[in-house]
Chain A
Amino acid sequence: MAETQKLVIMVTHGPAEPELASIPFSMAGGALASDVDVVMGFQGDGCLLVKKGVADTVAAPGFTPLRELLPTIQELGGKILVCSPCCKSRGLTEADLVDGAEIVAAGRFVAEITSATNSLTY
């Protein structure tokens, strides 16, 4: 098989925009099903999507609801990285986030993006 590929997907929209919040999760699921490693990076209001309980409330017409997509992505090995200053400004700590989510800063995001096959930003 070919060398493993990696896709970084940056998510900047939150629950207020369910379609733009759902598309990156759908892309992540498609990539993981295709044996592509996935790192999802959450910045701005995107961080709210991985606050415990929030994914249960986000569903856009025509899309698989986040209550199904988020656990599927984690089950398939997708990594969840969350922007540190964005969490701080929203009063979020790691304890507030879904299990497995990791709070990181710019250096880690840059390292993930520069080592990826490609990156997408929503």
Chain B
Amino acid sequence: MAETEIQATVVVDARGLLCPMPIVKTAKAMKELAPGDVLKVMATDRGSVADVPAWAGSTGNELLEWHQEGETFVFLLRKGEGD
């Protein structure tokens, strides 16, 4: 699904942050959302490409899609039914 079809509830700008801060910021932001809400995360740390999907898998959230825009990795995550 193209990003333009998905409306993010909140955007996390983790550009310039190094491991593990992109997922730390993502986790903090996700806690404030309701199940089904979509979080958009922007990061420039190359490790995020592996980190964000792994984080989503281990925390019960869903990675809807990710892509690269220049030097920025963009992730769309849907909050799961957990906390």
Minimum C-beta distance from B41 to chain A (A): 12
Interface residues on A, range: 10 to 19
Q: A1-B60, A30-B51, A34-B58 are known contacts. Are A64 and B82 too (CB-CB below 8 A)?
A: no
Establish whether residues A1 and B82, one from each chain, have CB atoms under 8 Å apart when the complex forms. yes
User: Could you say which of A1, A27, A33, A63 contacts B24, with CB atoms under 8 Å apart?
Assistant: A33
**Residue A72 CB within 8 A of the other chain:** yes
Most chain B beta-carbon neighbours within 10 Å: one of A32, A64, A68: A64
Asked if A26 meets B27 with Cβ closer than 8 Å, knowing A34-B55, A35-B59, the reply is no
Chain B interface residues (CB < 8 Å from chain A): 17-21, 23-24, 26-27, 51, 55, 58-60, 82-83
